[in-house]
Amino acid sequence: MHHHSDPLDPGRIPAAVAVIGMGCRLPGAHGPGQLWDLLESGRDATRAAPLDRFPPGTLPPAGGRRGGFVDGADAFDAGFFGIPDHEAAMMDPQQRLLLLTAWEALEDAGRDPRRLSGSRTAVFVGQSHADHWERLRAARGGALDLDCLVGGQQRAMLAGRLSFHLGLHGASVTVDCAQASSLAAVHLACLSLRAGESELALAGGANLLFDTAATRVFDEAGVLSGEGHCRFGDAGADGFVRSDGVGVVVLKTLDRAVADGDRIRAVILGSAMSHDGAAEKRITDPSTTGQTLAMRWAYQDAGTVPGDVGYVEAHGTGTRIDAVELSALTEVLAEGRPPGRPCLVGSVKSNIGHCEAAAGVAGLIKAVLCLEHGQVPPSLHHDNPSPLVDWDRLPLVVPTSPQPLPAAPDRPAIAAVNGQGMSGTNVHMVLAQWSLRAVQPRRDGPESSPGGPVTPPPHRWRLRPYPPATAAPDRHQV
């Protein structure tokens, strides 16, 4: 059997995609600025589950008593989006927070979200759980109506809500690749932009914990951490910590972003998806073969030598799959790497827990921040390297203190994000630092502004500014 690992068209020139805006609601961090503060200071934002998070009388199992939780996940200003109160009451909080986070991401991109109405803007978002639907079923005793179905059971509504309330005419797709969902959504958004199918894209994912059923299954399977920390690559790793998370990035082809005078936060050079196929005995078993295929295809797509990568934001859960991921990264990133140039590798899950369907976009936002700041923050809880990994053979180093972002001489720094899901899907994404330079202002069109980015909308339409950063309850000494 032939393993197809060659690019589909070796002669084509891939179109780079610019990240021009970001928004996030993550444990301990409302917005990218607060996320960077959290990462740079080496804080762990996981904590005991709030008493009012789960249905009355429901207690999470031992492995779920600690997690990453977003405060105010149930709060929503329905009137802001013109949604009737009775309809909003049935809406999954994942839909609500995605609307708010996407609006903030567009504001970060200097866009008035109202002025996108009628545009060919695409939406690709990831979702894998629907805890709200289970709450509705229990609360209403089976007396369900169409608002309940639309609000909680139909996953397609996560993307559909965003397209509807912003009046967008581009593709609108909810992606479910389990834990790889949001990174897969970003990959698909890039393909849509490259194909000319869309002129702007919103991509990301949402994951909110409101029920304990899935937590109980994960705990019984032995994949949740008893001590409540994600210890990526550590000998003491005993599982992952479940968490909330919502993240959105605003994307546009690089040439158009430069022509429009957008602030470019980072550049996505290329990406790829793969499946493990039948490489392992069980569908949930990770495969080095499947992961290395996604990685090699991504570097081929990006036109980048793997040896130039200075940092990888790993899937990094703190479970046995870390060893498989690190083995795949070693196999690929060692190619063309000069002696003495290691690659840093870390995981945002050590700070915020595993936000599952939103994990990939959380890692992507972290990678963009690393490129912007030229620094890699510590990966927490890495005290004793795992004996399951041959660290002497690896070109990989897990940073336990802030480190300068490695880069090849006279070249922009290169980073990568790796994602995988229990369904066997793998995603790998290659990013580059954008060097600051003067760009032409917007030339024409409904969003043109001779003075630069558009003027923010009136305050009644603008969301509140990000609240000031606050210290998380736990702190890891680095």
pLDDT value of position 122? 98
- Rounded Cα distance, 106 and 453, in Å: 11
- E strands, 238-342, are 245-253, 266-275, 309-313
**pLDDT-above-70 percentage for the chain:** 83
- Rounded Cα distance, 78 and 61, in Å: 33
Give the residue from 282, 94, 298 showing the smallest Cα distance to 184.
298
Residues 117, 118, 119, 122: is their CA dihedral positive or negative? positive
pLDDT value of position 3? 45
Task: Compute the C-alpha angle 61/64/68, nearest 5°.
Answer: 160
CB 296 within 8 A of CB 332: yes
Q: Mean pLDDT across the chain, nearest whole number? A: 86
Q: What distances in angstroms separate CA 245 from CA 17, 48, 125, one per listed residue? A: 24, 16, 13
Q: Which residues of 29-64 are buried (b: 16+ CB within 10 A; e: fewer)?
A: bbbbebbbbbbebbbbbbbebeeebbeeeeebeebb
Residues 340, 307, 351, 64: is their CA dihedral positive or negative? negative
293: exposed, middle or buried (Cβ count in 10 Å: 0-12, 13-18, 19+): buried
CB 193 within 8 A of CB 268: no
Task: Compute the C-alpha angle 80/82/88, nearest 5°.
Answer: 90
Among the ranges given (148-157, 170-179, 196-205), the one the predictor scored with the smallest mean pLDDT: 148-157
Residue range 315-336: mean pLDDT, rounded: 93
Over residues 271-318, the pLDDT tens digits come to 999 999 998 888 888 899 999 999 999 999 999 999 999 999 999 999
The pLDDT-based confidence of 11 (bands split at 50, 70, 90) is low
In the numeric block, the tokens 């000998």 are attached to 235
For the record, the structure tokens of 197 come out as: 């199918």
Q: What distances in angstroms separate CA 254 from CA 168, 188, 297, 427, 432, one per listed residue? A: 21, 16, 21, 21, 12
Instruction: Examine the pLDDT at 111 and tell me if it is beyond 60.
Output: yes
Identify any residues that bridge with 327 across adjacent strands, giving them in sequence order: none
Element (H, E) at 162: helix 157-166
Query: 330: how many CB neighbours lie within 10 A of its CB?
Result: 20
Residues 177, 182, 187, 191: is their CA dihedral positive or negative? positive
Characterize the bridge pairing of strands 47-48 and 375-376: unpaired
Give the largest CA-CA distance in the chain: 66
Over residues 413-450, the pLDDT tens digits come to 999 999 999 999 999 999 999 985 322 233 333 333 33
Over residues 74-110, the pLDDT tens digits come to 888 888 888 888 888 878 899 999 999 999 999 999 9
- Rounded Cα distance, 382 and 476, in Å: 10
CB 419 within 8 A of CB 183: yes
For the record, the structure tokens of 356 come out as: 């599952």
For the record, the structure tokens of 290 come out as: 């499947």
Query: 165: how many CB neighbours lie within 10 A of its CB?
Result: 18
